[in-house]
A and B are shown apart, each in its own frame.
Chain A
Amino acid sequence: MLSKLWKAILFVGIALVFTGAFLWSSLKEGLGDFTRVLYFHVPVAWITVVFFFMAAYYSYRYLRTKDILFDAYAKISNELGILFAIMATITGSIWAKVIWHSFWNWDPRETSIFILLLIYGAYFSLRSAIEQEDRRARLAAVYSLLAFVTVPFFIFIVPRIYFSLHPDPVINPQGKINLDVRQRIIFFSSLFFQTILFLWIFNVRKTQVKLQMYLREYKETKLLEEK
């Protein structure tokens, strides 16, 4: 019942965010219509990072408890992380084409999202290379945590060494938010609803994986009983 209510809220909310972003939002000086990408690109990029942290968290939980379910959660966090990282890359790249006149020019921000994609790719190729289930889970978890240690370098240190053309992040070093009231309302509601969307997708996948595991266990015990 509650989930249905949330679904309805989510539907209305996302619809409102879209309408607001395209019709009601005020525009930034110098960016014009291209301001609007802010409401989609930035939340998606944040969620990518959240998924990445979640994958690291579940990997840690797996190493602690050796419960194969946590490995499955880490895997789905990474799968969804790829999806969001690709969306962030595409929206960012289109914006870059308009503003910087090229889809890709190795701005530090672009580098960091590219590395994130590489890490996801490496993670899944590692998983596919190992057949034993517990070994695969363990090594993938270790790799995930190792990658988790290096990613802050791309997000926090590389942009400080290399000059970036990327507009100030919404939360910038000065701690100010450079948005007017309308922009703030749309941005934060977009962030809110997209976060709900992401939690919802994650929950659906989580339940699915859990059910798959129960089914497998059930089949295995049944096979044993028959013998």
Chain B
Amino acid sequence: MKQTWLIFVKDIQQEFKTRYAINAILLFAVVTLSAVSFAIGTFTAGSQVLSALFWVILFFSSMSGLSHIFIREEESQTADTLKLVASPMHIYLGKFLFNLILLFALEIILVPLFIAVMNFKLGNFPLFLLTLFIGSFGMAGGGTMVAAIISKASSKGALFTVLAFPIILPVMITGISATKKATETTPIASAQNELQALFAFGVIIITASILLFDYVWNE
């Protein structure tokens, strides 16, 4: 547990030195949001369309930043040192925690902006937040694992989205469905299926990643 925490703290400190990932991810979100908002213009899109758009923006902005965590280790050639000081499971969990916090930061900025700019009406705000919260675990878990795979491949940038999309898509599909329900004034229990699926996906993808990470990390 301590190792995980130390890796997490190290990554946070490193991030604050350059602020690369957080800048990339937030600016990407703002740029996409303004592009979408500009494209829609003065029309008011229905809540069905908006909840899908929200997840598309969230997905692609997170894709722009989540891969950075492992690519950074490869570029600064610190991966080997890290291999010596920590076990693979803790490295994965530490990086996962960092990506999770990064996603939460993104959501904290994106959600109010999206609601304000797109005139997004939410009937059941707690359900929306709960969906985001549970969904983030699956996204961060899958994203971290694909980032680890991609950091070992030769062409790093473009491939990440391609590889991560099929893995993270269950989160997107169920997330969109739950968000649609959250736009109406329905009780949380009505989205029980979606929340369960999101939760199960998070648990499964994180477990599978912990089991498989060893093979990616150690050559």
Contact = CB atoms under 8 A, between A and B. Distances in A.
Interface string A25-39: 000000000000000
A143 B163 contact: yes
A130 B153 contact: yes
A145 B170 contact: no
B163 A126 contact: yes
B197 A143 contact: no
A122 B219 CA distance: 22
A135 B219 contact: yes
Given A150-B170, A153-B197, A126 B159 contact: yes
B208 interface: yes
Size bracket, chain B contacts: 20 to 34
Given A122-B162, A150-B170, A153-B197, A138 B155 contact: no
Interface of B: 142, 145-146, 149, 152-155, 159, 162-163, 165-167, 169-170, 173-174, 177, 193-194, 197, 200-201, 204-205, 208-209, 212, 215-216, 219
A150 B153 CA distance: 22
Size bracket, chain A contacts: 20 to 34
A122 B215 contact: no
A223 interface: no
Contacts of A138: 215-216, 219
A49 interface: no
B149 A115 contact: no
Contacts of B219: 134-135, 138
Given A125-B159, A161-B193, A146 B173 contact: no
A197 interface: no
Interface string A126-159: 1001110011001101110111011001100110
Contacts of B146: 143, 146
Q: Which of B159, B177, B194, B215 has the most CB of A within 10 A?
A: B215
A103 B151 CA distance: 38
A66 to B, nearest CB: 10
A127 to B, nearest CB: 10
A150 B167 contact: yes
Nearest to A138: B215
Contacts of A130: 152-154
Nearest to B205: A149
Contacts of B152: 130, 135, 139
B149 A157 contact: no
Contacts of B193: 160-161
Contact of A146 (B194, B201, B208): B208
A147 B166 contact: yes
Contacts of A153: 170, 197, 201
Contacts of B216: 138-139, 142
7 contacts: A115-B169, A122-B162, A138-B215, A142-B212, A146-B145, A146-B146, A150-B166
B149 A158 contact: no
Contacts of B205: 146, 149-150
A164 B179 CA distance: 20
